[in-house]
Chains A and B, each alone.
Chain A
Amino acid sequence: MKFVSAPCRTSAAYEVKPDKNLRLILDDVAKKLSNEGYIPVVVTSHIAVFKKEYELTIFPSGRILIKKIEEKEIADRIAREIYEVLLE
């Protein structure tokens, strides 16, 4: 799964964008990520927010915002894990 990651506009989170629109159904995303230990905070059809040691905001396109981390390498590792779970 190819993606690009960079600090978001305000640099308060890392923004990860896949190279294609994943058309995710966020209810399904919530079920899969709950099995991986993520706690769903809010799940709607447009946005879902999850907590672990960091916080994820996931959009149906597959775009992810990762809050409470400091390094791009960590953002990339988290994103890879998430996409693996979602696309398996």
Chain B
Amino acid sequence: MKVLVLISGGIDSPVAAYLMIQKGFKVEYVHFDNQPFTDEVPREKAIQLAKHLKQFGGGNTFYIIHHGLTQTEILKSLERKYTCIFCRRFMYRIGERLAEFIGAEALVTGENLGQVASQTLHNLRAESEAIRIPIIRPLIGFDKQEIVDLAKKIGTYEISIIRSLCCTVTPRYPETRAILDKIKREEGKLEINDIIDLRLKEMESLDI
């Protein structure tokens, strides 16, 4: 069975991918490139990580979505404190459409409860509601040290910690208890399907 891994270039998502590979899933990768709100390094790291994971049996194709353009739409039109939630809802929606296209049954993320301010149970619920296919979060109950130890064991840690700019879009005070009705009302200001279509049209795919 195939799954689509949302791979960021950080420590967590490659570990999540590894755990899925170990369970016997076939994985493909999608990276959401956040330039110009970060630098080019996360994209390069994500590609390197996907290549590294091939030794365990991981995927042949690497998809890149130009997410910075979506972030610009979000920043221009929607309430600031929900930026991270809108960002993830768009990533999930685009991921879902891509998963359908490539025949993947679920999305996989490296999300982990409480690791950053926006990763609360309230927010995960509000984010997950954007799509219908399952989101598998293999690391949800792990603590950071467990993830780091596993990343070191599988050799992804050294790639993940290469210096890169963190996301500059994150608001100073992100919402931690998202209210779904409010999120949906705000999102109504955007042409969601048009944005998704455009991002998929511009998508890059690489053989790894």
Contact = CB atoms under 8 A, between A and B. Distances in A.
Given A41-B36, A47-B37, A49-B36, A10 B169 contact: no
Interface stretch (B47-55, B72-80, B135-143): B72-80
Contact of B168 (A11, A47, A68): A47
A10 B36 contact: no
B67 to A, nearest CB: 13
Contacts of B36: 41-42, 49, 55, 57
B185 interface: no
Interface string B20-35: 0000000000000000
A44 B164 contact: no
A46 B166 CA distance: 17
Contacts of A42: 36-37, 68, 72
Interface size class of B (residues with CB under 8 A): 10 to 19
A40 B8 CA distance: 26
Nearest to A68: B39
Interface of A: 8-13, 41-42, 44-47, 49, 55, 57, 65, 67-68
A68 B163 CA distance: 12
Contacts of B41: 12
Contact of B165 (A13, A44, A45, A46): A13
A10 B165 contact: yes
Contacts of A68: 39
Contacts, number: 45
Contact of B164 (A12, A41, A49, A57): A12
A41 B168 CA distance: 14
A46 B80 contact: yes
8 contacts: A10-B164, A12-B165, A13-B39, A13-B165, A42-B37, A42-B68, A46-B80, A49-B36
Interface of B: 36-37, 39, 41, 68, 72, 75-76, 80, 163-166, 168-169, 171
Given A41-B36, A47-B37, A8 B165 contact: yes
Of B166, B168, B169, B171, chain A has the most CB atoms within 10 Å of the CB of B168
A63 to B, nearest CB: 10
B84 to A, nearest CB: 13
A10 B166 contact: yes
A57 B68 CA distance: 14
Contact of A67 (B39, B75, B76, B171): B39
A11 B165 CA distance: 8
Contacts of B68: 42
